[in-house]
Chain A
């Protein structure tokens, strides 16, 4: 049906922008398709409210963040303290969520464990955004040889399965909290670079940018004062989705025993301990609490990202 093909061309024309890797085409497309109309004042006035679910999600993320920050101040037992008189205790007033097979307080481990996920997720993506975002901004605006080579490099790096690369680097370099954060931060650079670059590219020749250039503004001023504010919604949305992605990778590593070494609790290694032989039969709570917390955290972050995406009309794509 040749007719069908002709007609669908209009919808998919932007896909041809990146003829290199079909999977990545969607990333470009969805960022480029971000319409400026979303920023028009009329639209801002009739914006949909964020909704109850959004606030529930934000509330859960906020609660986890606050508890993790205040862990030292809260009246919690030491997460590593083994209370041999309360092994595998069920939830009670002394241990609100019970204890594990070594008599350690599960609530305390859960709260201290949240620190790992949150630090790796948010600091990692901050590193990715700082490096990848800056490169993307400049490369999208400047174009030329710099853009070409950075673009090619990002394709090569994205052709590498991230989890395998991360496992290999952890194997040779070690797995302290800050190393894991740095490794995963570097791992998200190519993706965030592509997203920000595509968005920056779509603003590079807009009237207000040309106006600024005509007025004699320096490149650095144009990039950071004119383009950056417009790229922020895309960067924040994808940043949030990447936070969820990075938390998943860290959790997977921790589950495999390749993240922050024991006895430091993390949700991933708590799930692994809870599903080790015997524990599933005798005390499923060890596994249950971190599983539920992780599910709610990922769900909440995805939901907040999704609301941002709808608000700024960024099309859903691949990550």
Chain B
């Protein structure tokens, strides 16, 4: 197991290194020069040369990369050219919102998908199963940018149950915070429910056809015991893998709801920075999100070694 984790860790380091190069190159190889934006009307040859030197953009690319990497490793991601706010500060203020959205939506998704799959997989093609399977198939066609505006129209504008915008930090007022966050979290939950339910259901159905389940049944064990103790774990691998892959979709989802509900999270900051051509902010947020994403995949691989020890075998 140590060997498996070590190998995964080496992969993690390699992937992270490649990501850092790609994110660095984004600013440098694609057309569009940060100096044009920063200088604006003062765009003269002299000013530009001074600024290029000041930003270190006149050095060879490889050297620039290592200078940049060094400062990143020291926790300096540069600053916004608009309001001179350090990128690290933008990140520090934004991440709790993204995290809260993702946690609430995932708790909801698992709380719906797992019991539903346990219920329907016992009688595949029964009425409950058909209704749930059709329903989740529909949910797959409801990405956040489609469902979120409808939810706002119905629950905020129409019924006034929830506010359409607004954010109070959890630490300040937990009740108000949760009330504000329910609608945005719900909006990114539909897709997760559908993916988790469909995978877990089909894995449960095939697990329930295995000999050891027949064996357990013939021993007279109760259905509930069989579902939870015998069928659950061997059916949960795809679910766990899906949870890892799904984080990518959730990132996109949080961007949408932050934009719609005016929540000042990372997605909101990123989109604003893109629209204002605030290059260093875009670069910094991209780098951090990509690295966190890779780290999460690594953590999920670690969980795999616990749930399914076979993955560590050669």
Contact = CB atoms under 8 A, between A and B. Distances in A.
Q: Do chains A and B stick together as partners?
A: yes
A317 B300 CA distance: 18
Interface stretch (A43-51, A157-165, A227-235): A157-165
B293 A161 contact: yes
A251 interface: yes
Interface residues of B, number: 76
B135 to A, nearest CB: 12
Interface string B7-38: 00001001100110011001100111000000
B14 to A, nearest CB: 8
A164 B249 CA distance: 10
A23 interface: yes
A248 B294 CA distance: 23
B4 to A, nearest CB: 8
Contacts of B274: 167-168, 170-171, 258
Q: How large is the interface on A (under 10, 10 to 19, 20 to 34, 35 or more residues)?
A: 35 or more
B22 A160 contact: yes
Contacts of B148: 275
Contacts of B310: 5, 9, 12, 16
Interface stretch (A108-116, A201-209, A291-299): A291-299
Interface in A257-308: 257-258, 268, 271-272, 274-275, 280-281, 284, 287, 291, 294-296, 298-299, 302-303, 306
A25 interface: yes
Contacts of A16: 310-311, 313
Contacts of B132: none
Identify whether the interface residues of A are mostly helix, strand, loop, or mixed. Answer: helix
Interface string B119-146: 0000000000000000001101111111
B210 interface: yes
B241 A163 contact: no
Contact of A251 (B143, B294, B297, B311): B143
Interface string B51-91: 00000000000000000000000000000000000000000
A11 B210 contact: yes
B32 A172 contact: yes
Given A168-B286, A299-B138, A255 B256 contact: yes
B157 interface: yes
Given A7-B210, A295-B141, A318 B30 contact: no
Contacts of A299: 137-138, 140-141
B301 interface: yes
Given A168-B26, A291-B149, A302-B137, A4 B234 contact: yes
B238 A26 contact: yes
A21 interface: yes
Contact of B153 (A162, A164, A280): A280
A252 B260 CA distance: 11
B199 A169 contact: no
A185 to B, nearest CB: 17
Interface in A234-252: 244, 248-249, 251-252
Given A4-B212, A23-B245, A284-B153, A295 B146 contact: yes
Contact of A22 (B15, B145, B210, B301): B301
Contacts of A214: none
A174 B153 CA distance: 32
B270 interface: yes
Given A156-B18, A168-B23, A161 B277 contact: no
Interface string B240-258: 1110110110011001100
Contacts of B31: 172-173
A161 B290 contact: yes
A172 B30 contact: yes
Contact of B143 (A170, A252, A284): A252
Interface in B253-300: 255-256, 259-260, 270-271, 273-275, 277, 279, 282-283, 286, 289-290, 293-294, 297, 300
A40 interface: no
Contact of B27 (A159, A172, A274, A295): A172
Contacts of B149: 271, 274-275, 280, 287, 291
A165 B23 CA distance: 9
B30 A249 contact: no
A253 to B, nearest CB: 9
A30 B58 CA distance: 50
Given A161-B293, A256-B259, A169 B146 contact: no
Contacts of A160: 19, 22, 290, 293
Interface string A137-178: 000000000000000000010011111110111111110000
| Shortest Cβ-Cβ A-B pairs, 10 listed | A275-B149, A298-B141, A299-B141, A163-B252, A171-B274, A172-B30, A255-B145, A23-B245, A23-B241, A22-B241
Given A22-B240, A25-B241, 20 more contacts: A12-B237, A23-B300, A161-B289, A161-B293, A164-B251, A164-B286, A164-B289, A167-B282, A168-B282, A168-B283, A169-B26, A172-B30, A251-B145, A252-B252, A271-B146, A275-B149, A275-B152, A298-B140, A298-B141, A316-B202
Interface of A: 1, 3-5, 7-9, 11-12, 15-16, 19-23, 25-26, 156, 159-165, 167-174, 244, 248-249, 251-252, 255-258, 268, 271-272, 274-275, 280-281, 284, 287, 291, 294-296, 298-299, 302-303, 306, 316-318
